[in-house]
Chain A
Amino acid sequence: ELKVEQNPLFLSMQEGKNYTIYCNYSTTSDRLYWYRQDPGKSLESLFVLLSNGAVKQEGRLMASLDTKARLSTLHITAAVHDLSATYFCAVENSNSGYELNFGKGTSLLVTP
Chain B
Amino acid sequence: SQTIHQWPATLVQPVGSPLSLECTVEGTSNPNLYWYRQAAGRGLQLLFYSVGIGQISSEVPQNLSASRPQDRQFILSSKKLLLSDSGFYLCATTEDSYNEQFFGPGTRLTVL
Interface residues of A (CB under 8 A from B): 31, 33, 35, 40-45, 48, 50, 88, 90, 92, 97-100, 102-105
Give chain A nearest CB distance to B53 CB in angstroms.
Answer: 16
B49 touches A98 (CB 8 A): yes
Stretch of B14-22, B62-70, B72-80, B102-110 on the interface side? B102-110
Partner of B100, one of A33, A40, A42: A33
The answer to whether A33 and B101 touch (CB under 8 A), given A43-B90, A99-B49, A105-B43, is yes
In the complex formed, the residue of A with least CB distance to B95 is A45
Q: Which B residues, 40 to 92, have Cβ-Cβ distances below 8 Å to chain A?
A: 42-44, 46, 49, 51, 59, 90, 92
Residues of B within 8 A of A40 (CB): 108
Instruction: Please state if A102 and B102 are interface contacts (CB–CB under 8 Å).
Output: no
User: Given A50, A98, A102, which contacts B43 in the complex, CB threshold below 8 Å?
Assistant: A102
Contacts of B105 in A (CB 8 A): 41-42
Known: A98-B51, A105-B43. 12 other contacts (CB 8 A): A31-B99, A40-B108, A42-B90, A42-B106, A43-B92, A44-B103, A45-B100, A48-B98, A90-B101, A92-B99, A97-B99, A100-B46
Query: Do B98 and A31 touch (CB < 8 A)?
Result: yes
Contact between A102 and B44 (Cβ–Cβ < 8 Å)?
yes
- Is residue B32 within 8 Å, beta carbon to beta carbon, of the partner chain? yes
CB distance from A6 to the nearest CB of B (A): 9
Query: Taking each of B32, B43, B90, B94, which has the highest tally of chain A beta carbons within 10 Å of its own beta carbon?
Result: B43
CB pair B99–A100 under 8 Å, yes or no, is yes
Provide the bound-state CA to CA distance between A42 and B51, in Å.
22
Chain B: CB-nearest residue to A44: B103
Q: Give the residue name and chain of the A residue nearest to B96 (CB).
A: A48
CB neighbours (8 Å) of A97 from chain B are 99
- If A42-B90, A99-B46, A99-B49 touch, whether A50 touches B102 (CB-CB below 8 Å) is no
In the complex, A50→B44 CA distance in Å?
22
A42 to B32, CA, bound (A): 18
Question: Which residues of the partner chain A approach B32 to less than 8 Å between Cβ atoms?
Answer: 98
* 9 closest residue pairs by CB, A with B: A104-B43, A43-B103, A102-B44, A42-B103, A42-B106, A48-B100, A42-B105, A92-B99, A105-B43
